[in-house]
Amino acid sequence: MDRRASIRRLGVSDSGYIVARLLVAFSLILLRVTGLLALPQDPGMISLFQWGLALFTLTGVLVLVEYLVFHLTTRQVLWSALPLDVITGGMLLVTTQAYQDPVYAWLVGIVVIYAAALSRRESNAVTIIFAVSYFADHVIGFGWAHSTVDYIVLAFKAVALVLLGYFVSEGAHRQIEREAELESSRSDIESLNEQLQRRLAELNAVSEITDVVHSSLDFDAIGPLVLEIIQKVIDVPACSLLVLDKEKAETLFSASTGLGSLPPTIAGSLAFSEGSAAVELEGGLFSCLTILDHSHMMVVFCAAAGQIEAMRQEDRLVLQAVASELAVAVENSQLYKLTKRLSITDELTGLNNYRYLQQRLEDEYERARRFDRSLSLLMFDADDFKLFNDRYGHVAGDVALAELGGLLKAAVREIDVVARYGGEEFSVVLPETDVAGAFVVAEKIRESVATHRFPDADGNRVVSLTVSIGLATYPIHAADREDLLRQADDALYQAKHLGRDRVRTSQPIGRATEPPAGESPAAAPTEPPAAEGQRI
């Protein structure tokens, strides 16, 4: 198996070199055996030829063994065979000179092989050695009896060997240099292509993240998708991306993948440390790095400490581009949320406004109708509030309305909807609350307002206010949403008409001519002590 692998390892030139040596040796042996190659009758010449032929054959076998057994390189094989080739060439040239240099062709071939395999300097030296050997062998074989022309021809052939070796060496090495340049160029092109592909992937990722970020204001939904796109470009298996409010030390946006839950104090720690901090989580120690510091906002990227340090400049640029988009999107989201909140919020009291009341009342009515539940509505009105404004001024009146809204919110559940209906009128929607439950809530509100002291124009809490409350419940008092509003408003009117500071329920359906279903009269009006306040 090793021998077969060694044979497959040989290149075309190596195989040709081995085969050529063996063919030359076989041809010389065949010519000698068949008698076609006549040698000088001198026994010394015959013996010299036989030894030269034997040495030539052994050199070929040695070359084959060095290739296949010892796995030597072509350069090593040629250097080991060089002395034997020089000696063998001389022996064969001396004994076969009568045949018009039959070994010269082999000598040309051997020069070409050495010139192609060795360096320029080595090739030139080896070629000169063969040329000198060729010339010397002929001089020794011919003696000095030949004419000047013969020696000129002999010198010309020796010089031809040198020139042949030089040009073959130059051509081979220029080819090698060109191939090396092409390989280097190919490597550079591949490197540039890889960089280009990476830049395109980064640009596509940034573009995709931009589309995702600006396609929705629901950051909780798009956060994991943003990190998934980032991980396609940056090889970070576990990371977190946060947008912080530096002034309030709050987290405005966060998304994580592969990390445990971030500690609640992370926003304060990062804001205080300007975004560079170490975080200990279940998966180990993570580092956080500020990638954008913009106005009052800071965008921070957290990942394993080693991965943060190993990030390339290109990766940081991608994160900065993403951070810029996130910062803009967070600002837009905050503005959107503020606009949305203001559109349904009464600016003075902070309660829901009339628009929101109508929307929620419609939703709660549909729910009550679908599941056959009760739905109650309370309508409030501050008694004689015009007199309050005339006596203490509109500024004190605005303060009183704001505090009145706070009293209403404090007296109801979180699921109840408190809204400013308009002016000094307020409404409370009580889902899944019957008449009795709504009456209890209304009484609680009436009493909390009656016992509260509101500030006068100078800020002294000496003024009392009362409210009149109208109550209606679906389906007892009304058949639909509009009727529920109308019945609660009618009940409020009756409460105001009957003396104020009381709770009045609407008439049940089908009993409009009967006495009122329920009423909570206020205590007899009395002038409270000056220390406690004065009633309007």
Shared domain check, 175 and 268 = no
| One-letter amino acid for residue 425 of the chain | E
Active-site residue, from 424, 425, 432, 482? 424
| One-letter amino acid for residue 88 of the chain | T
Which of these three, 157, 180, 203, is where a domain ends? Answer: 180
Tokens of 450: 């009656």
Shared domain check, 462 and 404 = yes
- Residue 174's domain comprises 2-180
More confident call, 366 vs 223: 366
Is the pLDDT assigned to residue 146 strictly greater than 50? yes
Query: What is the CATH number for 259?
Result: 3.30.450.40
Task: Compute CA distances 473 → 153, 211, 360, 415, 506, whole Å.
Answer: 132, 48, 16, 17, 8
Omega before residue 455 within 30° of 0, cis: no
Asked whether residue 34 is assigned to any structural domain, the reply reads yes
| One-letter amino acid for residue 501 of the chain | D
Half-sphere exposure of 85 (CA within 13 A, CB side): 25
pTM for the complete prediction? 0.48
In angstroms, rounded to a whole number, what is the distance separating the alpha carbons of residues 276 and 280?
Answer: 14
Rounded to the nearest 10°, the torsion over CA 192, 196, 201, 202 is: 100
Asked whether residue 188 is assigned to any structural domain, the reply reads no
Which of helix, strand or coil describes residue 253?
A: strand
Shared domain check, 118 and 245 = no
Asked whether residue 110 is assigned to any structural domain, the reply reads yes
Shared domain check, 257 and 223 = yes
Strands annotated E in 274-374: 277-281, 284-294, 297-304
Tokens of 251: 């987290």
Predicted confidence band of residue 119 (pLDDT cuts 50, 70, 90): confident
222: Cβ contacts below 8 Å, ≥ 6 apart? 212, 213, 215, 216
Shared domain check, 19 and 151 = yes
Shared domain check, 176 and 254 = no
Asked whether residue 30 is assigned to any structural domain, the reply reads yes
Annotated catalytic, 424?
yes
Q: In what order do the strands lie in the sheet with 461-464?
A: 453-455, 461-464, 534-535
Shared domain check, 289 and 254 = yes
Helix (H) or strand (E) holding 377: strand 375-382
Asked whether residue 450 is assigned to any structural domain, the reply reads yes
In angstroms, rounded to a whole number, what is the distance separating the alpha carbons of residues 159 and 129?
Answer: 11
Which of these three, 343, 365, 388, is where a domain ends? Answer: 343
Shared domain check, 332 and 225 = yes
Shared domain check, 136 and 237 = no
Shared domain check, 491 and 453 = yes
pLDDT for position 360: 92
Which of these three, 308, 343, 378, is where a domain ends? Answer: 343
In angstroms, rounded to a whole number, what is the distance separating the alpha carbons of residues 187 and 434?
Answer: 82
| One-letter amino acid for residue 418 of the chain | V
Give 79-88 contacts, CB < 8 A, sequence gap 24+.
Answer: 82/114, 82/126, 82/129, 84/55, 84/58, 84/59, 85/59, 85/110, 85/130, 86/129, 86/130, 86/133, 87/55, 88/52, 88/55, 88/56, 88/59
Is the pLDDT assigned to residue 434 strictly greater than 60? yes
Helix (H) or strand (E) holding 425: strand 425-431
Contact call for residues 357 and 429 (beta carbons, < 8 A): yes
Where is average pLDDT lowest: 98-102, 256-260, 329-333? 98-102
Residue 522 φ/ψ region, left for φ over 0, alpha for ψ in the -120 to 50 degree band, beta for the rest: beta
Which of 182, 179, 298 is closest to 244 using CA atoms?
A: 298
Predicted confidence band of residue 530 (pLDDT cuts 50, 70, 90): very low
Tokens of 330: 């967070």
Residues making up the chain, counted from first to last: 536
pLDDT digits (tens, 9 = 90+) for 413-422: 999 999 999 8
Asked whether residue 196 is assigned to any structural domain, the reply reads no
Stretch 454-462: mean pLDDT: 91
Query: What is the CATH number for 424?
Result: 3.30.70.270
Cα angle 399-356-519, degrees, rounded to a multiple of 5? 70
**Domain count within the chain:** 3
Is the pLDDT assigned to residue 58 strictly greater than 70? yes
Asked whether residue 427 is assigned to any structural domain, the reply reads yes
Contact call for residues 521 and 450 (beta carbons, < 8 A): no
In angstroms, rounded to a whole number, what is the distance separating the alpha carbons of residues 505 and 429?
Answer: 15
Asked whether residue 185 is assigned to any structural domain, the reply reads no
Predicted confidence band of residue 529 (pLDDT cuts 50, 70, 90): very low
Shared domain check, 256 and 148 = no
pLDDT for position 267: 53
**Percent with pLDDT over 70 in the chain:** 77
Where is average pLDDT lowest: 90-94, 400-404, 438-442? 90-94
Stretch 16-20: mean pLDDT: 68
* DSSP secondary structure, 162-183, as one string: HHHHHHHHHHHHHHHHHHHHHH
In angstroms, rounded to a whole number, what is the distance separating the alpha carbons of residues 69 and 84?
Answer: 20
Helix (H) or strand (E) holding 62: helix 43-68
Predicted confidence band of residue 12 (pLDDT cuts 50, 70, 90): low
Shared domain check, 240 and 367 = no
More confident call, 252 vs 214: 252
Is the pLDDT assigned to residue 352 strictly greater than 50? yes
Which of helix, strand or coil describes residue 34?
A: helix
